Copies of this chain bind each other. A is one copy, B any other.
């Protein structure tokens, strides 16, 4: 450090840095300089040490640093229902298990407790941002704000009444009011979130189209998840869900179609034509026997594909390492061993998620000027040895327990595997309280 060194908040030295953008780049012995929550420089460590005088200095000599993982589809509060109903297909699981429990138990306390549990699990697993869809989104806002995580909050719409809202207009009004309230909050963004084609009417979807255009909001929706969903749309509307959305003008770059398991070639062309985004949730689709989404075809059509965990009631882990590995393995077994390389999959789990949420100017890659949303993975363990290629190791060998540090917007939220803004013991205790309540009444 020279006398002319610039004072900065934080400097991270790492053995390897994979910034995702530019693609196919692995920087060795480089450092990231952070000031006011933003990345201000990425440069060789030896240069960084002479240029900067950091307040906080992390030496991560056995670590890989990547952009924070973006979980582009989840229902965070449902983590309280983790493993409550396994080995069932989607509609049975939803109608006979999940919806009755939700009806009985979901209130503001449930959503705050469940989302906080989810945030803790996600941060420990290297996730810096999640795209949520659930009732009482004001409590997801509260949980995310308390932990410091970045979140895209879904403003949920569904036709049936719940403790949260009485009808589709009430859902929308409450959601939009919440957005107004937190419009300037630095780590929050918002999506309109009509639940699914089979639970939202044409008129509600038309209203959502209007607001999406007016306010430039993404539209986050389950879409073409099961063959049953498509059959019911053909029965009720005479057309498949995507065609119905097309007629309602909802196909466009704002659309986030989650699951997209069952797609014709014409539908893939339509999605490309309208620059729609797809979120792949491989564990959930396999576990609920929904099917295998044609991700390689979507990627070949240059459609933006991101990755999500779905909720812990269907997955049952909020684990992006698992989803990344599974995305690659499913791509390979369906399309050959070269399909969905480690680089492609990491991009899907980071930058493509940010593009999906419309926040790619802010996050999704390690780039000067973007927020410091960063995950460090400790590669020193025996089960990561030897390491010939840190990128392929990240996807095929590492798992979430190797995550050592997480920063969001420059704030340290996980330090040597320990949560900084959350108390693990308290969260476990509160989860136990909910488990006891739910179990006692079943």
Residues of A bordering B, CB below 8 Å: 80, 82-84, 86-90, 92-93, 117, 120-121, 124-125, 283, 285-292, 315-319, 326, 328-330, 332-333, 335-339, 341-342, 380, 382-383, 385-389, 392-393, 396-397, 399, 401, 424, 427-428, 431-432, 434-435, 438-439
Q: What distance in Å separates the Cβ of A265 from its nearest Cβ neighbour in chain B?
A: 21
B431 touches A86 (CB 8 A): no
User: Which residues of B lie under 8 Å from residue A90 when comparing CB positions?
Assistant: 337
B317 touches A380 (CB 8 A): no
A396 touches B341 (CB 8 A): no
Please, how many angstroms separate the alpha-carbon atoms of A401 and B315 in the complex?
Answer: 18
User: Which residues of B lie under 8 Å from residue A382 when comparing CB positions?
Assistant: 117, 120-121, 124, 424, 427-428, 431
* Interface hub of A287, A289, A315 (most chain B Cβ within 10 A): A289
Please, how many angstroms separate the alpha-carbon atoms of A388 and B290 in the complex?
Answer: 24
Ranked 4 nearest A-B pairs via Cβ: A386-B435, A286-B329, A289-B337, A286-B333
B386 touches A82 (CB 8 A): yes
Please, how many angstroms separate the alpha-carbon atoms of A338 and B90 in the complex?
Answer: 11
Q: What distance in Å separates the Cβ of A64 from its nearest Cβ neighbour in chain B?
A: 13
* Interface hub of A93, A120, A428 (most chain B Cβ within 10 A): A428
Please, how many angstroms separate the alpha-carbon atoms of A89 and B339 in the complex?
Answer: 10
* Interface hub of A316, A335, A435 (most chain B Cβ within 10 A): A316
Answer whether A397 and B287 are a contact pair too, CB < 8 Å, given A382-B117, A383-B124, A428-B382: no
Query: From A335, which residue of chain B is reached at the shortest CB distance?
Result: B289
Answer whether A89 and B336 are a contact pair too, CB < 8 Å, given A385-B431, A392-B83: yes
Given contacts A88-B338, A292-B333, A382-B427, 12 further A-B contacts (CB under 8 A): A92-B337, A117-B385, A121-B382, A124-B382, A289-B333, A315-B396, A316-B397, A317-B397, A318-B383, A380-B428, A385-B432, A399-B401
User: Which residues of B lie under 8 Å from residue A432 when comparing CB positions?
Assistant: 385-386
Query: From A384, which residue of chain B is reached at the shortest CB distance?
Result: B82
* Interface hub of A83, A335, A342 (most chain B Cβ within 10 A): A83
Query: From A338, which residue of chain B is reached at the shortest CB distance?
Result: B87
B337 touches A288 (CB 8 A): yes
User: Which residues of B lie under 8 Å from residue A431 when comparing CB positions?
Assistant: 382, 385-386
User: Which residues of B lie under 8 Å from residue A289 when comparing CB positions?
Assistant: 332-333, 335-337, 339
Query: From A86, which residue of chain B is reached at the shortest CB distance?
Result: B392
Please, how many angstroms separate the alpha-carbon atoms of A392 and B83 in the complex?
Answer: 7
A86 touches B389 (CB 8 A): yes
Among B89, B290, B393, contact of A83 (Cβ-Cβ < 8 Å) = B393
User: Which residues of B lie under 8 Å from residue A287 when comparing CB positions?
Assistant: 328-329, 332, 337, 396
Q: What distance in Å separates the Cβ of A333 from its nearest Cβ neighbour in chain B?
A: 4
B93 touches A316 (CB 8 A): no
Query: From A82, which residue of chain B is reached at the shortest CB distance?
Result: B386
A337 touches B121 (CB 8 A): no
Among B292, B399, B427, contact of A399 (Cβ-Cβ < 8 Å) = B399
B396 touches A83 (CB 8 A): yes
Please, how many angstroms separate the alpha-carbon atoms of A310 and B178 in the complex?
Answer: 51
Please, how many angstroms separate the alpha-carbon atoms of A93 and B392 in the complex?
Answer: 15
Answer whether A388 and B83 are a contact pair too, CB < 8 Å, given A124-B382, A286-B329: yes
Q: What distance in Å separates the Cβ of A393 from its nearest Cβ neighbour in chain B?
A: 5
Q: What distance in Å separates the Cβ of A256 from its nearest Cβ neighbour in chain B?
A: 23
Q: What distance in Å separates the Cβ of A121 from its nearest Cβ neighbour in chain B?
A: 5
Answer whether A87 and B342 are a contact pair too, CB < 8 Å, given A291-B333, A330-B286, A336-B289: yes
Q: What distance in Å separates the Cβ of A154 from its nearest Cβ neighbour in chain B?
A: 23
A439 touches B329 (CB 8 A): no
Q: List 13 A-B contacts (CB under 8 A).
A: A82-B386, A83-B389, A86-B392, A87-B341, A89-B337, A120-B382, A124-B382, A286-B329, A289-B332, A289-B333, A289-B335, A315-B396, A401-B401
Q: What distance in Å separates the Cβ of A106 from its nearest Cβ neighbour in chain B?
A: 15
